[in-house]
Structure 1
Amino acid sequence: MTQAADYQPSVLVETADLSRDEWLAYRRKGIGGSDASAVLGISPFRTARDLYFDKLNIVTADDGGNWVAMEMGNLLEDLVARIFAKKTGLRIFQRKVMYQHPRYPWMLADLDYLVEQPDGTLAILEIKTTNYNARDKWEYNGEEIVPVYYEAQGRHYMAVVNLNRVYFCCLYGNSEDEVIIRCIDRDMAYEQELIALEDYFWHDNVLAKNPPPYTEDGDLILESLRRSLGPSDKDAPPVPITPPQFARVARYQELQEEKSQLSAEVRRLEAEMQRIKAMIAVDMGKSCTATYEDAGGSYTISLNSSRRPIVSRDRIDRMKVLHPDLYAEYVTFSVSRKLVIKKAATPAA
């Protein structure tokens, strides 16, 4: 699959006056930039099957479910863009349209901003927000990077609108100095592979109504199942599985045994560490700090107390009996599914 060298993107729709539902309906006509990482299997938020369900309007995919973070990102978009413009001196502007690739009409792009560069050419500006603890995702081994899931988004956009650079500006604090600015340039080899994979997803999965296989991490798959199937049903009949499916069960049992052996060693080490910690506490008495110095260097040893609020199981049970209204209002439950494998006894001959 070759990429045209000179083309202009089409405009699928003007987006300025679209409602949220109308905008989502247009997005379901193809693959957008934020969908690219799910197609590639590198999204930390959703699986390719989540995206498949979303495109067919079966189950709406959400990026991680943290609506507060998503809303903050939307509210701060203009502010972060202004910070980028101030720090770089580059002119930025918006075009409220949804672009469409002229050759691959299922490739769509809804850009945050466009940037006028010093040589007069245009580039793309993507606005991101994160928290202070997650800013290290923009570095690797001391090198400045763009997280791979955002890189896929940027490269998808470059392919659609035929521009050669994407800037990213990510705010992680509450001042103009707490921003990360990165840029990536076009990579045609990456782009051709991306287009091929998106083409397959769109035609062989979405249009063919053939759900893609799960290839992602276990937690992401389990969350995907929760979204698409809802809670498990204890009254549902047993599901017979095939020999290839049982191979997973057998492998799980092998790993369970391996983990059990390693856990025993971990417990032994933790017990030894706890005893040594107790002896250090004996040496320190009531002090929270100790010092030591020899030819190898000087050391400071801290052993501080910490307090955190907890509610015991007994108190929760008491609340349920004595204050059922408060219990219903404030007690929530996390849902998980525990896998237990039991082998039936072999019938006597």
Structure 2
Amino acid sequence: MATIQSIPRPTRQRPARPVRPARPALRLVDTRELARADWLQVRRSGIGSSDAAAAVGLSPYKSPLVLWLEKTGRDADLQRPDPLDTREPVYWGTLLEPIVAAAYTQQTGHRVRRLHAVLQHPSVPFMLANLDREVLGVPGVQVLECKTAGEFGARLWRAGVPEYVQLQVQHQLAVTGRQAADVAVLLCGQQLEVHRIERDEALIAHLIELEGRFWAYVQKDEPPPADGSASAQAALRCLYPRSSGQTLDWRQDRAMSALFCDLQAVRGRLAEDSACEARIKQQIQQAMGQASRARFESGEVSWRRSQDSRGLDTQRLLAEQPDLLVRFPKTQPGRRRFVIHD
């Protein structure tokens, strides 16, 4: 497997030491009769394989800050998909996991079995893993990871196994000491692909190092830095939902004042870029006239009128029947607004 280049490497050039368990992974908890609340509590005690990419800042779905909220028990107010909602991908992923595993056996001939346990690395206690399946009797592979991807998610698989899944699997191999895993992914409900991922000792060593840095934030009860993602923004709203009315004086704080100057500079560049984008777009629209689509050497644009839509004129309705507001009230929870005053 190719090395994941975006994971920071140590500045000093030194050979990476293999981080392989001297003995098999520990069976931390049997999950066959474990209540969901207890299972969630076990997950808070360490970094699971599905947490690996988020812990090192490479998950497209979850920031380190959200993961920190989960591990420290501050995630009660976070919005998350309902695993029982049939409109959510997580529901279909859980429902289809055994089907993907059965299809993998049919396609490859490799027998698999469930492992009803949370596993723990024998020498790195914060590293946990839940395996979808074990592969039996095949010298070249011992772990099976089952995935499903819809129309949007399938795009992430065009170049092979996405980075965040590779990290998940390397985490599993680190915990178990196994040498390889197969990733079986069902694309758009009708195409099964199987990808082999070999153990990468250098990557595992760096993964453990970076996960250790994240876990230190959990142990210190100190939030990791926000990374600019929508996930991190949601975490900040959850962590600091209300303002105290206090005013902080950072005029003599060079670091914070420099940070604010950087924000002003970026906003200035964004305003210039936005104006430039609007001008160029209008020039293309003007050249198109009444045409609906234009093709270029590197792509194309469309300029069409959307269908008329019908809505309810609530302002007029309330003006004529003001009692409706009393009979059918709806409160929208307020949010803190970040406003810049130059």
2:133–2:145 contact (8 Å) kept in structure 1: yes
2:21–2:174 contact (8 Å) kept in structure 1: no
Pairwise CA distance, 1:335: 5.9
Pairwise CA distance, 1:48: 1.9
Q: Distance in 2 between matches of 1:180 and 1:308?
A: 43
More helix by share: 1
1:91–1:116 contact (8 Å) kept in structure 2: yes
1:319–1:326 contact (8 Å) kept in structure 2: no
Q: Distance in 2 between matches of 1:65 and 1:326?
A: 31
| Structure 1, unaligned runs of 5 or more | 282-288, 291-300, 343-349
Aligned: 1:170 with 2:179? no
2:180–2:198 contact (8 Å) kept in structure 1: yes
Q: Distance in 2 between matches of 1:168 and 1:325?
A: 56
Superposition pairs for residues 63-78 of structure 1, below 5 Å?
Answer: 65=81, 67=83, 68-78=88-98
1:46–1:63 contact (8 Å) kept in structure 2: no
> Aligned pair in 2 of structure 1 residues 309, 186: CA closer, same or farther (>3 Å)?
farther
Greater RCO (Cα-Cα under 8 Å, separation 6 or more): 2
Aligned: 1:189 with 2:187? no
Q: Distance in 1 between matches of 2:303 and 2:269?
A: 34
With the length of structure 1 as denominator, give the TM-score of the two structures: 0.78
Identity of aligned residues (%): 26
How large is the Cα RMSD of the aligned pairs? Answer: 3.2
2:154–2:188 contact (8 Å) kept in structure 1: no
Superposition pairs for residues 121-136 of structure 1, below 5 Å?
Answer: 122-136=141-155
Q: Distance in 1 between matches of 2:205 and 2:291?
A: 60
> Aligned pair in 2 of structure 1 residues 112, 151: CA closer, same or farther (>3 Å)?
same
Pairwise CA distance, 1:18: 0.3
Q: Distance in 2 between matches of 1:303 and 1:246?
A: 44
Pairwise CA distance, 1:117: 5.3
> Aligned pair in 2 of structure 1 residues 341, 188: CA closer, same or farther (>3 Å)?
same
Aligned: 1:151 with 2:166? yes
Aligned: 1:84 with 2:99? no
| Structure 2, unaligned runs of 5 or more | 1-16, 295-300
Give aligned pairs, total.
312
Superposition pairs for residues 105-254 of structure 1, below 5 Å?
Answer: 105-116=125-136, 118-119=138-139, 122-140=141-159, 145-175=160-190, 178-202=191-215, 204-214=216-226, 216-230=227-241, 232-233=242-243, 236-241=245-250, 242-254=253-265
1:285 equivalent in structure 2: none
Which stretch shows the higher mean deviation, 26-35 or 242-251? 242-251
Larger-gyration structure (1/2) = 1
Aligned: 1:38 with 2:54? yes
2:6 equivalent in structure 1: none
Pairwise CA distance, 1:63: 9.1
Pairwise CA distance, 1:318: 3.4
With the length of structure 2 as denominator, give the TM-score of the two structures: 0.79
> Aligned pair in 2 of structure 1 residues 61, 148: CA closer, same or farther (>3 Å)?
farther
